Amino acid sequence: MLEVDVIIPVYKPTKKLLALLDSLMQQTLAVQRIILINTEKQYFDWFIQGMDFQERYKKVTLYHIKKEEFDHGGTRNFGVSLSKAPYFIMMTDDAVPGDEQLVEHLMSHFVNPKVGMAYARQLPDKECGFLECYARSFNYPETSCMKSAKNLKNMGIKAFFASNVCAAYRRDIFEELGGFTGHTIFNEDMIYARGLIDAGYLIAYEADARVEHSHNYSGLDQFHRYFDLGVSHAQYPKIFSGVATESEGARMVKRACPYLLKTGKPWLIIKLFWQSGCKYTGYFLGKRYKRLPESLVKAFSMNKEYWRIK
C-alpha cells in the first residue's frame, strides 16, 4: 500500500476544514498522517472550542506558526519536513473532497515513475457565482491529461498549470528538485511544476480526483490577486517568459461571451469585462511593480505580509 501524508496550511479555519478532515479520514486509500500548519494559534483555539479535536481527528498533527512566519513556499516546505512518507498531498483548508476516492485517484498516477505531481479538478461549491463556475470549468476540464515539457509549445503556461489547492507529490523527485521556492508571494505550485517538467518529469491532471473549491471575488479582489500574480511572473522571468500568459485570459473571455448568450445571461457580459479588466490591470501593474512606489505596491498587493518581511 502506498504511504501518503496530507499537508494543509490553515488560517482562520471555517467549517470547510472540518468537512475536509472528515472526508480525509474516510478515504478508500487511507492517509497516514494529516499535518496542519496553522497560522496564529488563537484563531484555531477559538474555532475548536467545545470540541475534542484530537479525539475526533486522531491522524492530525497540529503545528502553530505566527503570521509573520507564513510563506507560500517556505511554510509548505516546513510541512514536508515533518512528513516521512514517500508521497504527500498538499491541500488548502477550504478544499473539500468530492468523494472518498480523492486520494486513490491522485495516487494512481504514481505507478509511472516519471510522474512527479498529480493535481485534482476543482469544482465550484454551492455558493459559487455563475462566472466563477465557468472559470472553474475552463481551468479544470472534465478530461484528464498528462503534461510534459513537450507541451510548452502548444499549451503555453497551461503546460505547467497546477494547483496546491489539491496536488500530490512524489517525495524523491521533490527533494531532488529542492522543494518549493522559499519566500514566494504566490505561485509556488507552478514555479515548482515548471522545474518539474524542465527536469524531464511529468505532471498529471486527474479529473476524477475532485475537490469543491471556489471564491466569489469582487473586481477589486481580482485586481489584488492578479497584481500578486504579475509580481510572481516578474520575479521569475526564466519560468514565465516565453510562454503565453495574457492570451489565456483573452481566450477565456472569448469563450465565455457566447456561453453567456447561449445560457440566457447576457447581462453578465458586463461583469465579465469588468472583472477581466480588473485582472488585466492588476497583472499589468504587478509585472511592473519595481517601477511603482513602495506604498502603491503594498496597497495593490493581496499578500501584504510578504512585503513586510521581504
Q: What is the pLDDT of residues 55-77, one digit of tens each?
A: 999 999 999 999 988 999 999 99
| H helix or E strand, kind and range, residue 121 | strand 115-123
Using the structure block, give the residue that is written with the C-alpha cell 504587478: 286
Which residues, in sequence order, are bridge partners of residue 36?
8, 62
- Distance set, CA 219 to CA 165, 222, 274, 277, 307 (Å): 22, 5, 7, 8, 23
Among 288, 189, 279, residue whose Cα is nearest residue 234: 288
Mean pLDDT of 100-106: 97
Q: What is the pLDDT of residues 250-290, one digit of tens each?
A: 778 888 888 888 888 888 889 989 989 999 999 999 999 99
The amino acid present at 180, given as its one-letter code, is F
- pLDDT-based confidence at residue 247 (cuts at 50, 70, 90): low
Instruction: Share the mean pLDDT of the chain.
Output: 92
What would the grid cell of residue 8 be? Answer: 494543509
Share of the chain above pLDDT 90, in %: 72
